[in-house]
A = this chain, B = another copy of it.
Amino acid sequence: MDGRNSMPERSALEVKPGVEGGHDGMKVTPKKFRKKKQEQIDIQKLAGEVREGARTSLSKAITLIESSNPEHKEQAQNLLQELLPYTGNSIRIGITGVPGAGKSSFIEAFGSMLCNMGKKVAVLAIDPSSSLSGGSILGDKTRMEELSRNRNAFVRPSPSAGTLGGVHKKTRETMLICEAAGYDVILIETVGVGQSETFVRGMVDFFLLLVLTGAGDELQGMKKGIMELADGIIVHKSDGDNIPKARKTVREYMQILHFLQPATPGWMSKALPASSLEKTGLKEAWEMICQFETTIKESSYWETRRLEQTREWFQSMIVDHLIDSFFNDRDKKTQVKALENAILKGEITVTQGVLKLFS
């Protein structure tokens, strides 16, 4: 039971993947029956169970939040509104890493340490491009086995590739649900390529970057601008013979960080060595984060940033809605394509294209 309670329990909601994805050609359950089942969700009761820390209820709540079924959407928002007053009390940590940096093993070791310190730790994943990165599917079942079994931990696997679109937009809401469920530390892992780091940076208090030894080689494969988002850098796999090399790499990163503007005003980003294998440097990483929390709460930027993040989230959702509803309009799409072709052929100017589109 323990090892599984973090899996999305879709059955509890009678939501079939096919229904969620909008392809209902496969449904066998009569519509009436399904509807009746859905109506049985008692939002008040579910909210109460979530707050009491019932893990199956938490899984159920998150599945409801992630569902794209229109009826679920309304229920999800009602649930979220019930829980809103109990949110905001965690420390939100974003974790990213260069390929091969050992993100999962770090989260497992780091999260287990926090759990053993008595913290309740939730692990979420954001993967805006899940359909492109097949790697995470394979890993879902086996990764973070130790942490998943810890009673203080809740590990939400990243959504399987291709089955759910736009789930990343729900990570913020999932985070709020976890906070209402009493989780003290939320670890949000970036998965996949693209803009995931920027998404995560926009919803966390502290952003941690995992790298390997040999800054030069690493940095070449590193995504543009990623170092400038980090409040802390962990030089991972600093164990055995690798320790002297890791120390050198820490110094190199400290030097580069010195060149960059701080990711958080009032905080000088730091680099530290750590090993998940030898369980070293994990305590120091947590101390760095605690020091960050104290410093930034003192400067009152902590709350300012969170309000700003919520405001930006609202603005970006408005803009997303405007753009989606425009570009998803089939007529507009055809018109844009035709005008784009005319522009690329040099037949009309870009401004003329825009004027024609909105005339």
Contacts and interface: CB of A to CB of B under 8 A. Distances in A.
A351 B80 contact: yes
A261 interface: yes
Interface string A295-318: 000000000000100110110011
Interface stretch (A39-47, A121-129, A234-242, A339-347): A339-347
A15 interface: no
A350 B228 contact: no
Contacts of A87: 346
Interface stretch (A135-143, A182-190, A212-220): A212-220
Contacts of A80: 349, 351
A173 interface: yes
Given A225-B224, A322-B323, A314 B259 contact: no
B317 A354 contact: yes
B225 A349 contact: no
Contacts of A261: 220, 222-224
Interface residues of A, number: 53
Given A84-B346, A258-B216, A351 B173 contact: yes
A319 interface: yes
A212 to B, nearest CB: 14
A138 to B, nearest CB: 28
B344 A307 contact: yes
A85 interface: yes
A358 interface: yes
A91 interface: no
A29 interface: no
Most buried by B among A84, A85, A259, A343: A259
A131 interface: no
Interface in A132-176: 172-173
A313 B353 CA distance: 11
A54 interface: no
Interface string A55-89: 00000000000000000010001001100110100
A321 interface: yes
B220 A259 contact: yes
Given A77-B355, A259-B220, A336-B318, A310 B344 contact: yes
Most buried by B among A85, A260, A318: A318
B351 A317 contact: yes
A193 interface: no
A322 B326 contact: yes
CB-based closest 10 A-B pairs = A219-B259, A225-B225, A317-B354, A80-B349, A322-B322, A224-B228, A314-B350, A84-B346, A77-B352, A313-B350
Given A314-B343, A314-B350, 5 more contacts: A224-B225, A314-B339, A317-B353, A321-B354, A325-B358
